[in-house]
């Protein structure tokens, strides 16, 4: 059995370290983003910032330290985050008058600011985003997917009424799905979270869920309609056209560096990382092969190609190290370079190069005249191919014929024996938290979301056998 299929988590940990995406930090549960790892996040930032600009949503930044009294104003919020909050209680040998939390999210800090900034209907909608680090003291960690400190964006908006706030909530969810599927080639399941899974203090939470190659789920982005809960807690009111003071309706939404873990676990293979060119730190790597040091014309040609590709805006590297070709091939495949272009004495003599696309098996001979067009074509079609491959794998690991808890247990046992993945299971739900809790307790599966597009309606609850109020996806999750 392959290493990836035998122990997926071990493959993941080994790959991200060998490919130099991250390193462990001396602080428990936190990691160092090495340049390639951080560049992945930078490309996601660039893509999402373009969307924000089309929506006239501007970036801001708020303090990391949040007074304890802010959290106490919204009971559900503090209850939801209390177990994960790290506190600052003293500076030097001086005790602070009030404990300060390291930000787990910024609803409270931004709510306080909004109460000062929003006064009239003319101020609405008020919409901002921040790129920041947040802290949640995780007991069980996994790099990128679950760490005590991680990076994310969090958007916060205030609106005159519920309809406008809900419209923004759903527009963001749609953009998260587009970014995941079109930019990162990660297929996702859009839907609404159950009450037990929604954000602390939200009225409704919506998510995109991604299925990894081992069948586990990753919550890849969430968008929340907060109603007037935070507006009431922080006295965020505005004067209407009718000269009445009323509370705003707020939203918040976020995606994090969990997307990097999702990207790796969706596309990676036995050789290492596979990235769509949209986000890859290295789109093209140029490499001299054969006895190239005896033939200066090879490097002259590769230098010229490098300059051409660089000018065209590609992320290109030139590997002229002394390592053997086999070593260099393996290294760049491990790091997820999209295209490898090789040129040796015979290639130069015959007017062509050999091109290897990362996710395809064969090399292709491409003439110098055709190379620009070939590179552009391959980089354009690679994300679509990766997306379709991931969609097909997801489809093969979706299960619709499991209708009781015993059948779910039998399915899991069968998968364990066969070395296959349990995947996503579509089940009926009677709407009670008791049935959700029993599924989790007895199988380790959790509810992912109530999908907007239901493949089929389920009539009865998986646990109670009562008529189903909803049909939802369940899975094991990171």
Decide if 74 contacts 229 (C-beta within 8 A): yes
Q: pTM for the complete prediction?
A: 0.95
The encoded tokens of residue 98 equal: 């009030």
Tally the C-alpha atoms within 13 A of residue 423's C-alpha that lie toward its C-beta: 20
278 CB contacts (<8 Å, ≥6 apart)? 43, 47, 183, 184, 185, 383
pLDDT digits (tens, 9 = 90+) for 362-418: 999 999 999 999 999 999 999 999 999 999 999 999 999 999 999 999 999 999 999
pLDDT digits (tens, 9 = 90+) for 322-377: 999 999 999 999 999 999 999 999 999 999 999 999 999 999 999 999 999 999 99
Beta bridge partners of 152: 132, 256
What local confidence, expressed as pLDDT, does residue 263 receive?
98
What local confidence, expressed as pLDDT, does residue 139 receive?
83
Cβ neighbours around 231 below 10 Å, total:
23
Decide if 458 contacts 471 (C-beta within 8 A): yes
In the chain, which stretches have pLDDT less than 50?
A: 1
Rg (CA), the chain: 25
195's enclosing H/E stretch is none
CA distance 142 to 148: 10
Phi/psi of residue 194, each to 5°? -75, 160
The encoded tokens of residue 156 equal: 């916060």
**Whole-Å CA distances, 170 to 89, 103, 167, 186, 254:** 39, 25, 5, 19, 13
Decide if 153 contacts 232 (C-beta within 8 A): no
**Greatest Cα-to-Cα distance within the chain, rounded to the nearest angstrom:** 84
What local confidence, expressed as pLDDT, does residue 2 receive?
62
* Residue 272 DSSP label: B
Angle 262-218-279 from CA coordinates, rounded to 5°: 20
What local confidence, expressed as pLDDT, does residue 75 receive?
67
CA distance 210 to 188: 5
CA distance 211 to 209: 7
């Amino acid at each position: 059995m392959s290493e990836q299929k035998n122990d997926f988590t071990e493959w993941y940990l080994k790959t991200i370290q060998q490919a130099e995406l991250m390193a462990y930090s001396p602080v428990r549960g936190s990691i160092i983003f090495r340049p390639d790892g951080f560049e992945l996040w930078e490309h996601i930032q660039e893509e999402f910032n373009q969307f924000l600009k089309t929506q006239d949503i501007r970036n801001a930044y708020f303090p990391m330290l949040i007074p304890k009294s802010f959290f106490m104003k919204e009971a559900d919020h503090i209850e939801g985050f209390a177990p994960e909050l790290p506190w600052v209680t003293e500076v030097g040998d001086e005790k602070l008058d009030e404990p300060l939390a390291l930000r787990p999210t910024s609803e409270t800090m931004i709510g306080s600011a909004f109460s000062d900034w929003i006064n009239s209907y003319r101020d609405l909608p008020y919409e901002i985003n921040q790129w920041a680090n947040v802290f949640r003291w995780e007991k069980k960690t996994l790099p990128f997917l679950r760490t005590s400190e991680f990076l994310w964006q969090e958007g916060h908006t205030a609106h005159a009424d519920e309809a406008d706030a809900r419209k923004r909530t759903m527009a963001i969810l749609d953009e998260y799905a587009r970014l995941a599927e079109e930019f990162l080639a990660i297929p996702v399941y859009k839907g609404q979270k159950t009450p037990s899974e929604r954000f602390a203090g939200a009225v409704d939470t919506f998510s995109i869920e991604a299925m990894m190659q081992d069948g586990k789920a990753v919550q890849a982005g969430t968008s929340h309609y907060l109603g007037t809960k935070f507006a009431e807690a922080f006295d965020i009111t505005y004067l209407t056209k009718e000269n009445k003071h009323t509370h705003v309706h707020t939203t918040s939404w976020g995606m994090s560096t969990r997307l990097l873990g999702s990207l790796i676990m969706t596309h990676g293979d036995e050789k290492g990382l596979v990235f769509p060119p949209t986000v890859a730190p290295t789109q093209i790597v140029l490499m001299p092969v054969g006895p190239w040091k005896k033939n200066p014309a090879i490097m002259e040609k590769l230098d010229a190609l490098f300059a051409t590709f660089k000018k065209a805006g590609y992320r290109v590297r030139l590997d002229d190290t002394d390592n053997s070709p086999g070593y260099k091939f393996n290294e760049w495949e491990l790091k997820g370079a999209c295209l490898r272009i090789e040129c040796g004495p015979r290639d130069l003599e015959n007017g062509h190069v050999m091109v290897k696309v990362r996710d395809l098996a064969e090399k292709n001979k491409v003439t110098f005249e055709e190379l620009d067009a070939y590179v552009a074509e391959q980089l354009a079609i690679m994300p679509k191919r990766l997306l379709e491959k991931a969609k097909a794998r997801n489809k093969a690991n979706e299960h619709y014929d499991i209708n009781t808890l015993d059948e779910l247990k039998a399915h899991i046992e069968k998968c364990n024996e066969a070395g296959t993945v349990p995947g996503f299971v579509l089940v009926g739900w009677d709407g009670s938290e008791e049935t959700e809790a029993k599924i989790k307790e007895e199988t380790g599966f959790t509810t992912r979301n109530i999908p907007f597009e239901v493949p089929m309606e389920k009539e009865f609850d998986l646990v109670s056998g009562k008529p189903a109020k909803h049909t939802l996806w369940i899975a094991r999750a990171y």
